Amino acid sequence: MDSLPSIAATLDEIPGRLRRRRERKDMSLAELSRLTGISSSTLSRLESGQRKASLELLLPIAAALSISLDELIAPPRVTDPRIIVKPQLVAGRTFVRLSREPHDPQAYKLTIPSSAETPILRSHEGYEWLYVLSGQLRILLGEQDLVLSAGEAAEFDTQIPHWFGAHGKRAVELITMFSKHGERVHLRASQTGR
């Protein structure tokens, strides 16, 4: 019995879980309020621990967030942390997901072969972060034309028109992180645009 968390400790964890679950859904307090009928101020007090959680409040919140009540009140279960790696070929580029599906931002190992493709600059909401593992990466960002080598990183607002690809005669390998908007552009728009 001593290994089980106390009821008080479990209740103390609810505010943080509630906030994290809402933020993972990219939902504002106002939007959650609209979906649940619970005032934004009550939701804010729940998330800060100034108001105690009750089933009357947690049931509609769990439903609005499309999660089980257990996800709000039970300690997280220890699961296998390994991610099953399945390379995905998109427009000649190989993407290997390095993060679990619902997380934002998404992380990928990306291999881009050397090619003579014509750069097409795109823009979308979000931020992108790149780290070159091997080879050289050419980045076109607005008016800038940059080349990054292994060990170099870049971060930029993706609302600036941009493109990146292999520079020279070798493929480039990199780690990239982007938001859901970026994932749609890189993994889905590329498939339909080819």
**Is there a single domain that holds both residue 64 and residue 92?**
no
Domain around 66: 7-73
Predicted TM-score of the model (pTM): 0.58
Confidence of residue 72 (pLDDT cuts 50, 70, 90): confident
Q: What is the pLDDT of residues 101-124, one digit of tens each?
A: 666 778 999 999 998 788 999 988
- Residue 182's pLDDT band (cuts 50, 70, 90): low
In 25-141, alpha helices (H)? 29-36, 40-48, 55-64, 69-73
pLDDT at 175: 97
Mean pLDDT throughout 8-36?
Answer: 88
User: What's the CA gap between 177 and 118, in Å, rounded?
Assistant: 23
Q: Could you tell me if 46 and 110 lie in one domain?
A: no
Lowest mean pLDDT among 38-47, 84-93, 119-128, 175-184: 175-184
Residues 52, 139 within the same domain? no
